[in-house]
Structure 1
Amino acid sequence: MRSHIESFLQYMTVEKRMSANTRQAYASDLTQYASTLNQLGVKDWNDVTRSHIVKHIEELSQAGRASSSLRRAVSSIRMFHHHLKMTGVTTTDPSLYLETPKAEKQLPDTWSQAEVERLLDSVPTSDPLSLRDRAMLELLYGTGMRVSELLGLDLDDLQFELGYLQCEGKGERARIIPVSSVAQGFVERYIQQARNGLGGRETEAHAKLAGIDKEITPHVLRHSFATHLLENGADLRAIQQMLGHADLATTQVYTHVNKSRLHDVYRKHHPRA
């Protein structure tokens, strides 16, 4: 049974371009799944029933697994059984009508527009390291890129004369993102004045200098980018394209963030709130 798991992972890696992290997660999910089936006395994939899968998911839930982890486990099992049937290993798919555990609503951390402005303005540009940091932060907030995408940029990806850059996201999907003249200016200064021979430095120090007592990560700036666009009337599908989300449902989480902020404003300012 284990050999079929390895064949599935190999197929997903080669044909579907599964990332190393996703492969590791799926391998863990399916290894645990196979272990449960073994304990239940199941020795062949053709003998697996929906009840066996439900039993496994229930055990994971009782062990304290988060809903996101349970959802991923169900997804792994579904894709695996689909692959088994498509390749003729099994004649049926017991996961076909399996219910997906409901997701816990976890809104992404975002900063207000004023907080982001304070952060950016707190970074000096008088020395090479600070200029590098300012250019990176301006690009992260100005484009919503993932930090891995930022680090993967080449000079040829910067089409500033046309007002955009091109980056390669998850699954090697390339996309084009508009870049503001402000971000372009800092990036061009960095390239001309400070690009060679610089090491790293934590951006958390800039948040402290700005007097912001919140955690700063590249993803916070990505979330803030999307939330601020939505707050200012941007179309959700346009935001989806800029973020590189394959599914619009992933982008729709920012509508919940926006509603949450509306409630905060209401509670603070309405006389009967």
Structure 2
Amino acid sequence: MGFYLDKYSAYIKSEKDLSDNTMESYLSDIKQYINFLKSKAIKDIRNSSNAALVSYMLSLEKEGAASSTIHRKLSSIRSYYKYLLWNQLISKDPTANLVPPKNQRKIPEALTFDEATRLLNQPNGNDAKSIRDKAMLELLYATGIRVSELISLNLEDINRQHAYLQCIGQASRERIIPIPDSALQHLENYLHKARETLIRKSLDEKALFVNTHGKRMTRQGFWKIIKYYKETAEIDKDVTPQTLRHSFAVHLVEEGADIRSVQEILGHSDISTTQVYSQLYSEMKKNL
């Protein structure tokens, strides 16, 4: 009886090779769907139906959710129902033969070079937090790594002598990415002047970037940092950690980088994902 969320949560944590962030995303999608079912007086997953699922998808569209978001949520729900069916907790799978909305590749938003410079110049204090924020922003923009990769970096992943970082991206693919001199300088400044102050007594902390409690920086924590500096820089765009990654890619294309090289640096498995940045650069040129 019920929704068996605890059982499913235990299953994906023990059986699926997923990162913590991916697991949180999966469970968040399922919880949102369950809350929708409860709002429709469906208190047992066995009473859910194809009609209820379609109604949920339509509600997401009405709320303005992108087709890519709906696809992702539907994928999470499919996995959930497959688990329930496999374990004979339900007798039928409502996601069978369900057709999601057409998934259109959305052109991401990026900062102009001037906007990126203004954002990076915001943390200019000599306190530990400002020095850390400056190093994080500079490293993210200079390497184009994902925010999940940034906050997952450990001290051992940075080779300061040869100026490169080592990160594990999607599908556990390892990448070696050079660190430009400017970003390396701010990283060195953080390691020499700020990190020890922030970690306090947590001397065994392996994380490269830590919060004010001396623990690994979280995605939510870094999101707040970006939002704060976006406001102080007076940038009239929706700026997220991913925006800096997009900006890095567009500026590489602008400087004449080969699209295959950009694909390798970003860690894209499909070059069509990378080619979006050429299109975005063209769109930005039209608006100059």
Which AA in structure 2 matches 1:32? F
1:171-250 map, 5 Å: 174-198=174-198, 217-236=240-259, 238-244=261-267
Alignment root-mean-square deviation, CA = 4.3
Once the two structures are TM-superposed, the CA of residue 93 in structure 1 deviates from its matched residue by 4.9
Task: Tell me the TM-score normalised to structure 2 length.
Answer: 0.66
1:80-91 map, 5 Å: 80-87=80-87
Which AA in structure 1 matches 2:65? A
Which AA in structure 1 matches 2:281? N
Once the two structures are TM-superposed, the CA of residue 13 in structure 1 deviates from its matched residue by 3.0
Distance across 1 between alignment mates of 2:46 and 2:237 = 52
Identity of aligned residues (%): 35
Task: Tell me the TM-score normalised to structure 1 length.
Answer: 0.69
Structure 2 counterpart of 1:29: 33
Which AA in structure 2 matches 1:27? K
Q: Which runs of 5+ in 1 are unaligned?
A: 266-273
Give the conservation status (yes or no) of the 8 Å contact 1:29–1:76: no
1:9–1:254 distance in 2 versus 1, CA, 3 Å: farther
Structure 2 counterpart of 1:111: 111
Distance across 2 between alignment mates of 1:51 and 1:209 = 47
Structure 1 counterpart of 2:217: none
Give the conservation status (yes or no) of the 8 Å contact 1:37–1:52: no
Once the two structures are TM-superposed, the CA of residue 188 in structure 1 deviates from its matched residue by 1.8
Distance across 2 between alignment mates of 1:86 and 1:251 = 37
Distance across 2 between alignment mates of 1:3 and 1:203 = 37
1:210–1:88 distance in 2 versus 1, CA, 3 Å: closer
1:239–1:90 distance in 2 versus 1, CA, 3 Å: farther
**Partner SS state of residue 145, structure 2:** coil
Give the conservation status (yes or no) of the 8 Å contact 2:226–2:241: no
Distance across 1 between alignment mates of 2:42 and 2:124 = 61
1:101–1:37 distance in 2 versus 1, CA, 3 Å: farther
Which AA in structure 2 matches 1:156? E
**Partner SS state of residue 197, structure 1:** helix
Q: Which runs of 5+ in 2 are unaligned?
A: 199-210, 213-223
Distance across 1 between alignment mates of 2:287 and 2:29 = 37
1:35-114 map, 5 Å: 38=42, 43=46, 50=50, 53-58=53-58, 60=59, 64=63, 66-68=65-67, 70-87=70-87, 93-103=93-103, 106-114=106-114
Structure 2 counterpart of 1:258: 281
| Structure of higher CA gyration radius | 1
Give the conservation status (yes or no) of the 8 Å contact 1:169–1:175: yes
1:190–1:54 distance in 2 versus 1, CA, 3 Å: closer
Structure 1 counterpart of 2:207: none
Which range is displaced more, 192-201 or 8-17?
A: 192-201
Once the two structures are TM-superposed, the CA of residue 215 in structure 1 deviates from its matched residue by 6.0
Give the conservation status (yes or no) of the 8 Å contact 2:128–2:197: no
Which range is displaced more, 254-263 or 84-93?
A: 84-93
